[in-house]
Amino acid sequence: MRTYKSIRLGIPEILLPGAGCDLSRWAVIACDQYTSEPEYWNRVTEIVGDAPSTLNLIYPEVYLNEKDPDIRIANIRKNMKDYLDQGLFIETEGLVYVERQTEDHVRKGLMACLDLEAYDFREGSTSPIRATEGTILERIPPRVRIREGAPLEIPHIMVLIDDPENRVLGPLAENKGRLGKLYDFELMMDSGRLAGYRVDDPALERGALDALMALADPVSFAKKYGLKPGTPVLLYAMGDGNHSLATAKTIWEKTKEAAADKTAVLASPLRYALVELVNLHDNALNFAPIHRIIFEKAPGRYVLEEMKAFYRGRWAFSACANFEEMKAAVDSATADVHKIGVIRGGEFGVIEVSQPDSNLPVGTLQTFLDAFLKSKGARGIDYVHGVDAVIKIGSYPENKGFYLPAMDKDQLFRTVILDGALPRKTFSMGEAWEKRFYMEARRLI
């Protein structure tokens, strides 16, 4: 692999399914979507049938609580080996420029490998690659079991760069006619279209790398954000798939620790992770909130009453006639008062918390939910994308849904640099159906 230490990047060897593979059945949505909607994944299974598909190479999180996960993990490993043994893949080296059509917009991306030596997901990290939200540590071990020892990685990870002048991806978009097209097809379930181009023009590749190096320049970085000279550069900020990248990092650290030859191991493919780089300023990139649902409230527990006590007199509640009224109230709130929508039994309301302790409404809500769940106030919590899911599932008996506003994406890098990671599950890059679909693969062993 060709590597560029100053930008912590490697040029990947990409695996793509060969001729004859139905790509609309090959590519499926990220495994951490529709986690409370098994009907979505049942439909995906019907569409895929017995065709080669990334569905057979991933573990949809809707199934994480099934009785015997080891059976599914063993099948994933077998399917990976079978696909390799059958010669399903064609390997090509190079960055891949990606276009994802979503309704009226086209989101642009660049497939590349990032060096896990430059990533630290722990709180307070100042590494070049950083988590933007709090990492839920208990979510890492199940993912380790899936990835550890696997011969392939098939990523849904999207990593952000702060490139307001669009110097990394802009020239690739303008000159894609000079690049070799790898694929172009309609995604399943009315999710748009996906096209990929190998960056096989040396001048265009060099231009993208030089633009990343400019973003990584410490002097320019400090000036850009008004920081003290010498402030550690944040070059890559996690967008989607933080826990997947944290899993790759965990396995890499274990691999290094166990290696007899501490120098030779540094050339291992496990040191790198395949990701899609996306410009924060892409017009097609929208930050959507991630809503909360608590499941099966314990008998004798009353959420609103406990919230009132938790917020110590800074709390108020008002009923709303419908979802639209609730949404308008929450979305129009100011920074001085945090407003959070509540959905219970098909009814809607708004919680107001004055003089909030957190910078964002999601932080204000999460502190209460963590305490409520720790005291066994409910069986569990889920983090859902899209208003339809939070309304539908939040309205089930003994469930409660919480609707949250979106954050301003332009503040992301500055906030992470100055304040550290945001509360976990603060934002989502688009709605569930707009997420990255699995397409490219890469050998790990």
- Determine the average pLDDT of the residues in 282-300: 90
- Indicate if the pLDDT at residue 267 is higher than 90: yes
The predicted structure's pLDDT at residue 426: 85
What's the average model confidence in pLDDT over 320-345?
Answer: 92
38: left (phi over 0), alpha (psi -120 to 50) or beta: alpha
Are 157 and 257 found together in one domain?
Answer: yes
Same domain, 334 and 257: no
233 and 368 co-located in one domain: no
Same domain flag for 205 and 271: yes
According to DSSP, residue 29 is labeled B
CA distance 199 to 298: 55
**Average pLDDT in the chain:** 93
H/E element holding 384?
A: strand 378-385
Contact indicator for 245, 130 with CB cutoff of 8 Å: no
Least confident of 81-85, 209-213, 284-288, 364-368: 284-288
Residue-level pLDDT at 66: 87
Torsion of CA 2, 4, 5, 8, to 10 degrees: -100
Indicate whether 71 pLDDT > 80: yes
**pLDDT at 384 exceeding the cut of 80:** yes
Q: What is the CATH number of the domain that holds 356?
A: 3.30.1760
Q: Which pLDDT score is estimated for 427?
A: 84
Of residues 419, 439, 437, 418, the one with CA closest to residue 222: 418
Kindly state the tokens that stand for 180.
Answer: 């070799």
Percent of residues, the chain, with pLDDT higher than 90: 74
Instruction: Check whether residue 147 and residue 259 sit in a common domain.
Output: yes
Asked whether residue 412 is domain-assigned, the answer is no
Q: Is residue 425 assigned to a domain? A: no
Whether 215 shows a pLDDT value over 80: the answer reads yes
Q: Determine the pLDDT at residue 139.
A: 74
Confidence of residue 424 (pLDDT cuts 50, 70, 90): confident
Question: What pLDDT does 141 receive?
Answer: 83
How many CB atoms sit inside 10 A of residue 422's CB? 22
* In a shared domain, residues 234 and 300: no
For residue 419, tell me if it sits in a domain. no
End-to-end Cα, the chain, rounded Å: 14
DSSP 8-state assignment for residue 269: G
Pairing assessment for the beta strands 129-130 and 287-297 based on DSSP bridges: unpaired
Answer yes or no: is 398 within a domain: yes
Beta-bridged to residue 168, according to DSSP, are none
Whether 94 and 133 map to the same domain: the answer is yes
Whole-angstrom Cα distance, residue 115 to residue 245? Answer: 11
Query: Does any domain span residue 411?
Result: no
pLDDT at 243: 87
Say how far residue 30 (Cα) sits from the centre of its chain: 9
What pLDDT was estimated at residue 89? 97
304-311 average pLDDT score: 93
Q: Say if 45 falls within a structural domain.
A: yes
Q: What is the model's pLDDT at position 429?
A: 84
pLDDT tens figures, 220-259: 999 999 999 999 999 999 999 888 999 999 999 999 999 9
357 neighbors 383 (Cβ within 8 angstroms): no
pLDDT of residue 46: 98
Both structure tokens of 349: 């309301």
113 plus 157 within the same structural domain = yes
Predicted local distance difference test score (pLDDT) of residue 410: 85
- Structural tokens at position 444: 């790990």
What one-character-per-residue DSSP string does 102-169 give?
Answer: ETTEEEEEEEEEEEGGGEE-STT--SSEE-SB---GGGHHHHHHHHTT-SEE----EEEE--TT-TTT
Indicate if the pLDDT at residue 335 is higher than 80. Answer: no
Q: Using alpha carbons, select from 312, 249, 94, 287 the residue that is nearest to residue 182.
A: 94
Residues 276 and 306 in one domain: no
Q: What local confidence, expressed as pLDDT, does residue 286 receive? A: 87
Domain annotation covers residue 414: no
Q: Which helix (H) or strand (E) holds 73?
A: helix 69-85
- The residue with greater pLDDT, 17 or 420, is 17
pLDDT digits (tens, 9 = 90+) for 120-142: 988 889 999 999 987 777 778 87
Amino acid identity, position 231: T
Indicate whether 423 belongs to any domain: no
At residue 411, does pLDDT exceed 90? no
Supply the pLDDT for residue 407: 84
Nearest to 199 by CA among 90, 97, 91: 97
For the whole model, what pTM was predicted? 0.84
The answer to whether residues 325 and 343 touch, using CB atoms and an 8 Å cutoff, is no
Model confidence band, residue 324 (pLDDT cutoffs 50, 70, 90): very high
Select from 115, 83, 110, 74 the least CA-distant residue to 245.
115
Regarding whether 339 and 258 lie in a shared domain, the answer is no
Please state the domain count of the chain.
Answer: 2
What count of Cα atoms within 13 Å lies in the side-chain half-sphere of residue 163?
Answer: 28
Mean pLDDT of 174-196: 97
The mean pLDDT value for 26-44 works out to 95
| pLDDT on residue 296 | 85
For 136-166, letters b (16+ CB in 10 Å) and e give eeebbeebeebbeebebbbbbbbbbbbbeeb
The residue range of the domain holding 315 is 289-405
The Cβ of residue 228 has, within 10 Å, a number of other Cβ atoms equal to: 6
Planar angle of CA 152, 272, 281, nearest 5 degrees: 105
280 and 331 within one domain? no
- 419, pLDDT greater than 90: no
Nearest to 388 by CA among 284, 277, 293: 293
**Same domain membership, residue 202 and residue 75:** yes
At 219 the pLDDT is: 96
Q: Where are the alpha helices (DSSP H) in 231-360?
A: 242-258, 303-310, 323-331
